[in-house]
Structure 1
Amino acid sequence: MTATTDFSADREAMIETQLRSRGITEPHILEAFRAVPREEFVSAERRHLAYGDHPLPIEAGQTISQPYIVALMIQAAGIAPGDKVLEVGAGSGYAAAIIGRIASRVIGIERHPQLVRIARERIKQLRYDNVEIVAGDGTRGWPKEAPYDAILAAASGSHVPKTLIQQLAPEGVIVMPVGDPRWTQTLVKVRKRTDGTLEQSDLGGVRFVPLVGEEGWSDS
């Protein structure tokens, strides 16, 4: 049995046991996870752990999120074909790649130059032409391509940055963790109504790395 066959089987098992069994049943989301090889987004020594039900460490002291959490955030944001999506904290590039199998355009913004370089290489090798990884302060968003139908943040802030809300399209959704990075945070969903007011709901407890930047935590 080849490694490719092993990873394919692991991917199918992940979809059934980690996603479908927990209420992620939308065909377009499951198909996106089926299409993206998670083993290509972790280091060689951790490839055998790629489909475990947990986050994994990556370069620059960051993590690649647990598959279920990525799926939950995509589901909560209601990402659909034709959408333009901003991902804050692109990290390995995995979540941006998954989103790119659904949305028309994905911008993944990352503050660590090493991760930007590695994620760009992976996205290019896999020929995900509708996904772009950019370098910058994620708390400031990426105004060049705003507004966005959805914004997902893979790092925890003390609040939802005002700049991200400003870059959200009417009826758009932000999904991000909020809370002290030293403890369990709350995953929140914020919808921007057409009149500009906000509707917020809580999606449960999570653990993410801190959101560092102008409207985030200090890097000290």
Structure 2
Amino acid sequence: MNIEKARFNMIEQQIRPWDVLDQDVLELLSVVKREHFVPEAYRNLAFADLEVPLPAGQKMLPPRIEARILQELGVQKHETVLEVGTGSGFMAALLGRRALRVVTVERVAELASFAQQNLLAEGAGNVEVVVGNGAQGWPDAAPYDVIVMSGGLPVLPQSLLEQLKIGGRLSAFVGSAPIMKAQIVRRVSETEYRITDVFETYVEPLVDAIEPSRFTF
């Protein structure tokens, strides 16, 4: 496989058509080598428009989804980011290139170790991998300028929203099968949040994510 040709095709045929036109984001996808974050057995799928299998039965999000989320969040160099659902570490590496600091939380220790190795090889010194359950955020280092939920949520928990700084942004895949909404939430004030629906997709829910209330009569 011609790696650079495949990378070029990924950007031009998958990512640009998804309205990812931010030149900084497009250049970042050329700089951070996606193939270095894919398990060896699936290296030939690194640039495919699909979910790549990862250790422990997890999956890597398609590149167009990661790129679109990165563009919508508009991460700045002075900002601190929380990511929940580290996966292979690829999204954390992209975020690390744009942010001051990234804390990325992964529930599965085997996957956290895989991501840590990938991030070390990438030289992502400002990314910290933590083993834990981040379905309701990670208050230890809160508040954050940006929160990225890389797994699905049936509903957005208030405890998670409260970990955002005023002016901060959160991305999440909200809802249930077969369709979820990719949403960007902006914290406008202590009590006000603005939600924008960006696109529809389906992402596997995070383990222990809060379920919506169900009343019985």
Letter of the 1:39 partner, please give it.
E
CA distance in 1 between partners of 2:204 and 2:170 (Å):
18
Cα shift at 1:81:
2.1
CA distance in 1, matches of 2:101, 2:119: 13
Work out whether 1:198 is the aligned partner of 2:198: no
Q: 2-side partners of 1:159 and 1:90: how far apart?
A: 20
- 1:214, distance to aligned residue in structure 2 (A): 5.8
Say whether the 8 Å CA contact 2:18–2:68 is kept in structure 1: no
Match of 1:186 among 162, 181, 184: 181
1:140 equivalent in alignment to 2:106: no
Q: CA deviation at 1:123?
A: 0.7
1:197-216, CA deviations, whole angstroms, 9 ceiling, x for partnerless residues? 11112112111111112636
- With the length of structure 1 as denominator, give the TM-score of the two structures: 0.90
Separation in structure 2 between the aligned mates of residue 196 and residue 113 of structure 1, nearest angstrom: 36
Structure 2 residue runs without a partner (length 5+): 213-217
Q: Percent identity?
A: 34
Residue of structure 1 in register with 2:215 after alignment: none
- The answer as to whether partners of 1:28 and 1:102 remain within 8 angstroms in 2 is no
Residue in 2 that maps onto 1:149: 145
Look up the match of 1:172. 168
Please give the per-residue CA displacement for 1:56-86, whole angstroms capped at 9, x wherever unaligned.
Answer: 1111111100111001111222222222111
Is the Cα contact below 8 Å between 1:64 and 1:92 reproduced in 2? yes
1:67 and 2:56 correspond: no
- The code of the aligned residue for 1:183 comes to P
Unaligned runs of 5+ in 1: none
Q: 2:103 & 2:4 partners in 1: Cα distance? A: 27
Query: Aligned partners of 2:210 and 2:92: how far apart in 1?
Result: 22
State the AA in 1 paired with 2:115.
A
TM-score, normalised by the number of residues in structure 2 = 0.91
1:88-138 Cα offsets, whole Å, 9 max, x none, are 111111111111111121111110111011111111122110111111111
Runs in 1 of length 4+ with deviation above 4 angstroms?
A: none
Contact 2:86–2:104, Cα closer than 8 Å, also in 1: yes
Task: Please provide the CA RMSD for this pair.
Answer: 1.7
**Contact conserved, 2:86 with 2:92, CA < 8 A, in 1?**
yes
Of the three residues 13, 18, 21, the one matched with 2:14 is 18
The correspondence of residues 1-150 of structure 1 with structure 2, limited to 5 A, is 6-150=2-146
What is the number of equivalent residue pairs in this alignment?
A: 212
Counterpart CA distance in 1 for 2:190 and 2:141 is 21
SS in 2 for 1:172: strand
Of stretches 80-89 and 136-145 in structure 1, the one that deviates more from structure 2 is 136-145
Partners of 1:99 and 1:17 lie apart in 2 by 23
| Contact 2:100 2:126 survives alignment (8 Å) | yes
Specify the SS of the correspondent of 2:6.
Answer: helix
Aligned-partner Cα distance in 1 for 2:88–2:119: 10
8 Å Cα contact 1:32-1:99 kept in structure 2: no
